[in-house]
Amino acid sequence: MSGLSLNDITKEFGNFTAVDQVTLNVPHGTFVCLLGPSGCGKTTLLRMVAGLEEPSAGTIVLDGQDITSAPTHKRNFGMVFQSLALFPHLTVGDNIAYSLRIRGASRDEQNTRVDELLKLIHLPGFADRPVAKLSGGQRQRVAIARALALSPRLFLLDEPMSALDAKLRESMQVELRQLQQQLGITTIVVTHDQREAMTMADLVVVMGEGRIRQAAAPVEIYRRPADAFVADFIGSTNLLEVSADSAGRATVLGTAVAGLELPAQVAHASISIRPEDIHLTTPGNGAITGTVTFIRDLGGTVETFVEASGKTIVAVATPRERPNVTVGAQVGIVLPPESCVVLKK
């Protein structure tokens, strides 16, 4: 297969398992985001792909070649780390040309490639600038260009945006994704920011406690989260208990929900329903009854918090669709069955 395969990769540090039997196939040209909370093993997994850490078990195969034990410098991977690690005393051009110079490229070859890469990262003419005088976003781009100088087989980035402020992060995410699409290079980014992952990735890999909890396209992860951990980690959601009677009719918060079915033989489960999928109406007509406890108007969206049977449910609407209610009002909560995702235990 053309691409990267991680086969049953485990990493133990003493008797602690940081990465636990991870198997993942990444077709050539895919943009992967490894996503998860702090300590879930994403950096360790990336470091094993990079050759900076050796797996305790399992194999890493790139384009049919087993590279599990290949030294880092033989892999020809481009890497960008959180710190960026640019050489502060060198110019932009010398930073970008660093690996080319080590490989013995001529001055002309270096200059041509540096110019090419500077165009690619939208900093043409910056070759002679000292790195120390660049802005955060410009440094970020230079680190990316330096990592791409040798046309690497894989592009690996560990929390590359974490030093940037929120606005700049968002524009760099778009830029990085566009650059990756232009080059068609297989890319793996570690992040703990789900918006960042949703913006850039073809394949989001959600990790928890060293294991893959779900690996799928961003929209699939959002719409069809595999379990409560994934549902809660990706965007915000309402997690509700559901029970079914012998005929399969489902009850949520003490009210039967027409059209909602649990798999055969399952009497209790959790469901996830996104705030934007919940409709608030007038009470009655079979809807769950609740009391509005808080309204958060964020300008672009309005969040309505409703308490029902001791549980707080959040519904989101655009200002145009906002429910005409105030705090203290009784409302009907409608859960469209097609938007309810039954989660794995």
Contact set with ligand ATP (CB under 6 A): 13, 16, 18, 36, 38-44, 192
Considering the complex, what minimum distance in angstroms separates the CB of residue 23 from ligand ATP?
A: 17
Closest residue (Cβ) to ligand ATP?
43
Q: Which is nearer to ligand ATP, 92 or 201 (CB)?
A: 201
Assigned token pair, 208: 């928890």
Alpha-carbon distance of 345 to 340, in angstroms, equals 15
Q: CB of 156 within 8 A of CB of 82? A: no
Considering the complex, what minimum distance in angstroms separates the CB of residue 40 from ligand ATP?
A: 4
Considering the complex, what minimum distance in angstroms separates the CB of residue 82 from ligand ATP?
A: 9
Sheet holding 16-27, edge to edge: 16-27, 3-13, 57-62, 65-66
H or E, element range at 187: strand 187-191
Q: Which is nearer to ligand ATP, 16 or 71 (CB)?
A: 16
Q: Which is nearer to ligand ATP, 109 or 209 (CB)?
A: 209
Q: Which is nearer to ligand ATP, 44 or 110 (CB)?
A: 44
Considering the complex, what minimum distance in angstroms separates the CB of residue 57 from ligand ATP?
A: 16
- CA contacts within 13 A on the Cβ side of 31: 20
Q: Which is nearer to ligand ATP, 39 or 125 (CB)?
A: 39
Considering the complex, what minimum distance in angstroms separates the CB of residue 145 from ligand ATP?
A: 25
Alpha-carbon distance of 84 to 158, in angstroms, equals 10
